Amino acid sequence: MTGFAIEEVAVPRPPDSVDAADFAATVEVHNAVEADSYGTDELGYTAAEVLPGWLDRDYEPKRLFAARVDGRIVARAVYETLASDPSRTAWLELQVLPDFRRRGIGSALADLLESIAQGESRSKLIVYAASRQNPGERLPAPTGFGAVPRDNAEVRFLLGRGYTLEQVERGSRLALPVDEHVLRERYERAAAAAGDDYAVHSWTDRAPEHWREDVAALHTRMSMDAPSAGLQEPEELWTAERILDDERREANSPRTLLVTAVEHLPTGRLAGFTELVAPAELGRPVEQDDTLVLKEHRGHRLGMLLKVANIVKLQREKPGHPAIITFNAEENRHMLDVNEAVGFVPIGYEGAWKKLL
């Protein structure tokens, strides 16, 4: 179908302006589609916030494409891989503004991304797609937890292209501030369950040098220990050098990273961590990023200990944000229990899809 043009979008590089028009326009497409899917604009980002991730060419190389109609960018597509991935997986993202759907734009962008994957001999494609919870027949995830509406456009689109639903993730929101008495009670109970073998540490933006190797190991384990169902997400290798590289790039971001970790005192090693990413604007929500307790240290309520400690840190150091947003696999009942006990409530769902080439 004619009426649109597809092109690859150049990623701005410092000292160029992060407000480079085409790159910023693709970010706005992302924000508009997320707002349409979840019914809230709290999942949006600025170009300055996402740019550091796009400059990661050594570990998570990405390519960005856009579709134009009458000169306006109305759709975006992302092709992402891992430099350390021997399984040859590619992650695809495709978003079209609601008013420009059913014109063949999504199909054309999907054809392009899949052709790139085939040209690189990729063996597996993974897509995460938000699904508004409409009425009607449901397509259940094979995990037995969660489902998406079978008649949704994105569901029919992915099924028609040979993708299979493997997992459903829940988006949740915690209204801030959380009552300090509630947080103290949750923390004291978790600390009592953890006992004397664990100690809590925290930092902002940069990991202390003596914890860098442990933080890298936790990030690597996060890629393997987090539930990924039939997606079988590949291991993502992190090193102390990669942690440093990531911190250097993020130093140019307007966001602040708040980290709380727990040390296993008998070994002197970190047993878990959690991250919150706070935007510069107080009127916008905070993003809950990774949270992990190593399997060998579970059963001591360390997840609750970490989550509550980092929320306390947020409210003391960055007060005024309206909420925290997080995503978890529906089968990850333990982490959902922790979130719900703190006060998180569901705001939407997304399907995790796989296609074997």
| The pairing of beta strand 138-140 with beta strand 147-149 | antiparallel
Angle, helices 47-54 vs 240-250, to 10°: value is 150
Which of 116-130, 224-238, 274-288 is predicted least confidently? 224-238
Q: Is 3.40.630.30 the CATH classification of the domain at 5-172?
A: yes
Checking if the pLDDT of 158 tops 70, the result is yes
What integer is the mean pLDDT of 42-60?
Answer: 95
Quickly state the pLDDT bin for 298 (edges 50, 70, 90).
very high
In this prediction, residue 18 carries a pLDDT of 63
Checking if the pLDDT of 246 tops 90, the result is yes
| The pairing of beta strand 323-329 with beta strand 286-293 | parallel
For 60-74, the pLDDT digits (tens) are 999 999 999 999 999
Checking if the pLDDT of 85 tops 90, the result is no
**How remote is the C-alpha of 63 from its chain's centroid?**
18
Task: Tell me phi and psi for residue 71, to 5 degrees.
Answer: 85, -10
Quickly state the pLDDT bin for 16 (edges 50, 70, 90).
low
Which of helix, strand or coil describes residue 271? Answer: strand
Sorted by where each begins, the domain ranges of the chain are: 5-172, 177-321
Which of 2-6, 105-109, 294-298 is predicted least confidently? 2-6
Query: What is the C-alpha to C-alpha distance for residues 318 and 321, in angstroms, rounded to an integer?
Result: 7
Supply angle C-alpha 333, 138, 342, rounded to 5: 25
What integer is the mean pLDDT of 248-259?
Answer: 95
Inter-CA distances, 167 with 145, 155, 231, 287, 331, Å: 8, 13, 8, 21, 8
Ramachandran sector of residue 268 (left: φ over 0; alpha: ψ -120 to 50; beta: rest): left
What integer is the mean pLDDT of 235-259?
Answer: 96
Query: Are residues 115 and 150 in contact, defined by beta-carbon separation less than 8 angstroms?
Result: no
What integer is the mean pLDDT of 215-225?
Answer: 95
Q: What is the secondary structure of 315-334 as a DSSP string? A: HHHSTT--EEEEEEETT-HH
Q: What is the secondary structure of 128-154 as a DSSP string? A: EEEE---SS-EEE-TTSS-EEETTSHH
What is the CATH number that goes with domain 177-321? 3.40.630.30
Question: Comparing 5-172 with 177-321, is the CATH topology the same?
Answer: yes
Ramachandran sector of residue 119 (left: φ over 0; alpha: ψ -120 to 50; beta: rest): alpha
Query: Are residues 261 and 277 in contact, defined by beta-carbon separation less than 8 angstroms?
Result: no
> pTM (2 decimals)?
0.95
Query: What is the C-alpha to C-alpha distance for residues 30 and 37, in angstroms, rounded to an integer?
Result: 11
Quickly state the pLDDT bin for 14 (edges 50, 70, 90).
confident
Residues whose CB falls within 8 Å of the CB of residue 72, separated by 6 or more in sequence, listed in order: 25
For 305-350, the pLDDT digits (tens) are 999 999 999 999 999 999 999 999 999 999 999 999 999 999 999 9
Residue in the block written with tokens 């179908």:
1
Checking if the pLDDT of 1 tops 60, the result is no
